[in-house]
């Protein structure tokens, strides 16, 4: 008989006492399992060892090699110290111990908890072990989260890598100190933006100065830092923007940017800004609060510079009527300036261009704003009902109701999955039926989770819009009087009057005289 020995040790074991940890060590596991195999006269085919891998991780390299070799009938027995060393995932227990290993004619044995698939009578014990192991990992995951959140709330830094511009204190790894080698770069970025430089221009200047990007700088210091960006060798607009909006540079500890969707998955979701953990004045500031607030005010005005230095008066105001994505400013070789839907490019999507000339749009918007000023000029004779009624509250209520329904449906699905599993254990449903229904339940649950995340994002946007809308509505008379005699349309005027503008695709039609007529929707969403 050929036996495959599998041993594993992970960080989840570090919570054990030192004595228990020693008993779980790789060497101890190997020694015990080798002696057990020799006593029974089994030939050891191979020892598979995964270190620093969780029992819930399906991507363990040696674990997967063992499964591949098992499918190829290279051994007859899989031997582990405990069932939890092999896996803590109940689904894996069912898939391999009770199905695949049976198909491959492989016997599974774990010594300490007396698991042996040759013994048909202890199947329920194996299933109970699987559930207990999974519950343990779930509880451990929650305890670790609570511990980390508690440390975050104390203002202690717990990340693997510190924010660019700082480094860990040699005497206290949870405290940050300024990295004087690059703190000047942070100051330069804030100073340039405050003095009117656009994001793109700042990135270009830093690249021209051959300053290492945050990723390249960390790598140059010997840190095993990975960045999923396509090109981390050059400063980008997104990197500059993140720095300019980061409260870490005024001495506030900001943590909890993302979280795992489940202890079983490595997938992470981004946490909304208002739900992140922020503790003020935990470390030395690189940027003064006055300068930081001034820069944030500039962001709220949503101004930006074009390559020619001219202010883009429609910055972040234009969206495609069809795909709802942003319109971007472009210029052809002849100098003609126009706006186009970004997702009309094959690289991003399959929408159409929705092109509209800069000057044409400027003329349309200027005329529409003048019409609005004339219409609402005499406030003494204009009832409040004439102003656009803000229906954000109704939208929020509807979204909240939708979210409540989805949460109830999620709970119903969880209950159905539990009942389905019990039916399978009691042989009320077949294995194939269980897998089909379980797969359907999980897919439905995943879709509902995505819908809940979308609703939460929409609610956040509506609340922000509501706050801005109230402020603008309170100052409507002041705004119109301020700009009633304006000569040149600029960003400030557009920003005061308009929330966003939808640009439709051009539609061509022939008139009775056989002339081609062109029509294009330009839909203005006013702030009031």
Q: Identify the domain boundary among 94, 129, 152.
A: 152
What CA–CA distance (Å, rounded) separates 415 from 139? 19
- Count of domains forming the chain: 4
Phi, psi of 61 (to 5 degrees): -60, -50
Question: In which residue are the tokens 């079983």 written?
Answer: 264
* pLDDT (0 to 100) of residue 408: 87
What CA–CA distance (Å, rounded) separates 386 from 83? 71
Is 228 within a domain? yes
Is 382 within a domain? no
Q: Is the dihedral of CA 291, 292, 293, 297 positive or negative?
A: positive
List the chain pLDDT tens, one digit each, 528 residues.
Answer: 899 999 998 755 554 444 344 446 888 889 889 989 998 999 999 999 998 888 778 889 999 999 999 999 999 999 998 888 898 787 888 889 888 998 999 999 998 878 888 877 556 665 666 566 556 556 555 666 677 777 878 888 887 788 899 998 888 888 999 999 999 999 999 999 888 788 878 888 998 999 999 988 988 888 766 655 445 778 887 789 889 999 999 999 988 777 665 555 556 666 776 778 889 999 999 999 999 998 888 877 644 444 444 557 888 789 898 888 888 888 887 788 899 987 776 545 578 889 999 999 999 999 999 988 887 765 444 444 434 344 567 778 778 888 888 888 888 888 888 888 788 778 887 888 888 888 888 888 888 888 888 888 888 777 766 665 555 556 677 778 888 888 888 888 898 888 889 999 998 877 666 677 788 999 999 877
Residue 426, domain extent: 390-465
- Both 122 and 179 in one domain: the answer is no
What CA–CA distance (Å, rounded) separates 288 from 505? 46
- Both 115 and 38 in one domain: the answer is yes
Is 474 within a domain? no
Is 416 within a domain? yes
Q: Tell me the angle at which helices 476-483 and 358-375 cross, rounded to the nearest 10 degrees.
A: 120
* pLDDT (0 to 100) of residue 229: 47
Looking at residue 130, which CATH number applies to its domain?
A: 3.40.50.1390
- Both 11 and 51 in one domain: the answer is yes
* pLDDT (0 to 100) of residue 127: 62
Query: What does 361-401 look like in DSSP terms, one character per residue?
Result: HHHHHHHHHHHHHHHTS-GGG--GGGSPP--HHHHHHHHHH
Is 475 within a domain? no
What CA–CA distance (Å, rounded) separates 410 from 485? 56
What CA–CA distance (Å, rounded) separates 207 from 283? 29
What CA–CA distance (Å, rounded) separates 413 from 36? 44
- Both 19 and 121 in one domain: the answer is yes
Instruction: Enter the pTM of the model.
Output: 0.40
Residue 526, SS3 per DSSP: strand
What CA–CA distance (Å, rounded) separates 105 from 103? 5
Structure tokens at 124: 């329920």
What CA–CA distance (Å, rounded) separates 76 from 1? 6
What CA–CA distance (Å, rounded) separates 178 from 162? 11
Looking at residue 268, which CATH number applies to its domain?
A: 3.90.1750.20
Is 499 within a domain? yes
Phi, psi of 80 (to 5 degrees): -135, 165
Structure tokens at 39: 């006593």
- Both 214 and 337 in one domain: the answer is no
Is 305 within a domain? no
Q: For strand 356-357 and strand 337-341, is the pairing parallel, antiparallel, or unpaired?
A: antiparallel
Q: For strand 258-260 and strand 268-270, is the pairing parallel, antiparallel, or unpaired?
A: antiparallel
- Both 42 and 144 in one domain: the answer is yes
What CA–CA distance (Å, rounded) separates 46 from 166? 47
* pLDDT (0 to 100) of residue 116: 87
CB atoms closer than 10 angstroms to residue 213: 22
Q: Identify the domain boundary among 258, 280, 300.
A: 300
Question: In which residue are the tokens 């003609």 written?
Answer: 336
Structure tokens at 214: 């945050």
Query: What does 205-249 look like in DSSP terms, one character per residue?
Result: HHHHTTPPPHHHHHHHTT------SS--SS--HHHHHHHHT-GGG
Under a CB-based contact definition with an 8 Å cutoff, are residues 316 and 299 in contact? no
Under a CB-based contact definition with an 8 Å cutoff, are residues 137 and 55 in contact? yes
- Both 14 and 131 in one domain: the answer is yes
Residue 44, SS3 per DSSP: strand
- Both 218 and 350 in one domain: the answer is no
Phi/psi-derived region of residue 183, left when phi > 0, alpha when psi is between -120 and 50, beta in every other case? alpha
* pLDDT (0 to 100) of residue 185: 94
**Terminal CA-CA length for the chain:** 81
- Both 187 and 212 in one domain: the answer is yes
In terms of Cα–Cα distance, which of 209, 503, 492 is closest to 340? Answer: 503
* pLDDT (0 to 100) of residue 384: 44
- Both 163 and 136 in one domain: the answer is no
- Both 363 and 499 in one domain: the answer is yes
- Both 106 and 233 in one domain: the answer is no
Q: Identify the domain boundary among 438, 465, 492.
A: 465
Question: In which residue are the tokens 């489940």 written?
Answer: 262
Q: Who's near 192: CB < 8 A, 6+ residues apart?
A: 201, 202, 205
Q: Which residues pair with 526 in a beta bridge?
A: 498
Q: Up-side HSE of residue 226: CA atoms within 13 Å toward CB?
A: 1
Residue 145, SS3 per DSSP: helix
**What single DSSP character describes residue 161?**
S
Beta strands of 264-307 (E only): which ranges? 268-270, 277-279
Is 473 within a domain? no
């Amino acid at each position: 008989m050929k036996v495959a020995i599998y041993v594993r040790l992970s960080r989840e074991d570090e919570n054990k006492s030192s004595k228990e940890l020693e008993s779980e060590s790789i060497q101890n596991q190997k020694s015990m399992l080798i002696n057990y195999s020799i006593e029974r006269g089994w030939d050891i085919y191979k020892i598979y060892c995964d270190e620093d891998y969780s029992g819930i991780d399906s991507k363990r390299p040696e674990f997967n090699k063992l499964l591949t070799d098992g499918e190829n009938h290279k051994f007859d027995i899989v031997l582990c110290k405990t069932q939890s060393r092999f896996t803590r995932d109940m689904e894996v227990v069912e898939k391999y111990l009770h199905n695949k290993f049976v198909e491959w004619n492989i016997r599974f044995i774990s010594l300490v908890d007396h698991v042996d698939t040759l013994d048909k009578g202890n199947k329920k014990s194996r299933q109970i072990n699987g559930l207990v192991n999974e519950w343990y990992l779930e509880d451990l995951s929650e305890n670790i989260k609570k511990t980390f959140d508690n440390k975050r709330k104390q203002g202690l830094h717990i990340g693997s890598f510190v924010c660019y511009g700082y480094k860990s204190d040699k005497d206290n790894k949870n405290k940050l100190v300024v990295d004087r080698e690059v703190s000047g770069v942070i100051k330069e970025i804030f100073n340039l933006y405050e003095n009117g430089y656009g994001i793109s221009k700042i990135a270009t200047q830093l690249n021209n100065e051959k300053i290492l990007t945050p990723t390249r700088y960390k790598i140059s210091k010997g840190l095993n830092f990975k960045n999923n960006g396509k090109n981390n060798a050059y400063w980008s607009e997104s990197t500059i923007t993140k720095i300019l909006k980061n409260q870490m540079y005024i001495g506030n500890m900001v943590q909890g940017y993302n979280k795992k969707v489940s202890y079983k998955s490595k997938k992470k979701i981004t946490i909304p800004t208002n739900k992140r953990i922020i503790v003020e004045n935990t470390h030395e500031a690189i940027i003064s609060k006055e300068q930081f607030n001034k820069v944030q005010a500039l962001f709220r005005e949503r101004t930006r510079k074009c390559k020619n230095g001219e202010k883009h008066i429609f910055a972040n105001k234009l969206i495609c009527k069809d795909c709802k994505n942003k319109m971007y400013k472009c210029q052809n070789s002849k100098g003609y300036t126009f706006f186009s839907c970004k997702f009309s490019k094959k690289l991003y999507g399959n929408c159409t261009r929705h092109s509209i000339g800069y000057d044409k749009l400027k003329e349309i918007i200027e005329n529409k704003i003048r019409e609005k000023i004339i219409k609402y000029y005499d406030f003494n004779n204009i009832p409040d009902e004439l102003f656009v009624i803000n229906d954000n509250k109704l939208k929020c209520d509807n979204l909240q109701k939708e979210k409540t329904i989805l949460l109830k449906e999620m709970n119903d699905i969880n209950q159905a999955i539990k009942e389905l599993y019990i039916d399978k254990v009691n042989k009320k449903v077949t294995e194939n039926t269980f897998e089909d229904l379980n797969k359907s339940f999980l897919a439905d649950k995943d879709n509902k989770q995505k819908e809940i995340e979308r609703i939460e994002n929409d609610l956040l946007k509506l609340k922000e819009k509501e706050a801005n809308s109230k402020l603008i509505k309170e100052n409507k008379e002041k705004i119109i009087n301020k700009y009633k005699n304006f000569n040149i349309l600029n960003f400030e005027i557009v920003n005061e009057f308009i929330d966003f503008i939808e640009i439709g695709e051009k539609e061509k039609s022939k008139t009775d005289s056989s002339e081609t007529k062109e029509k294009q929707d330009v839909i203005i969403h006013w702030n009031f």
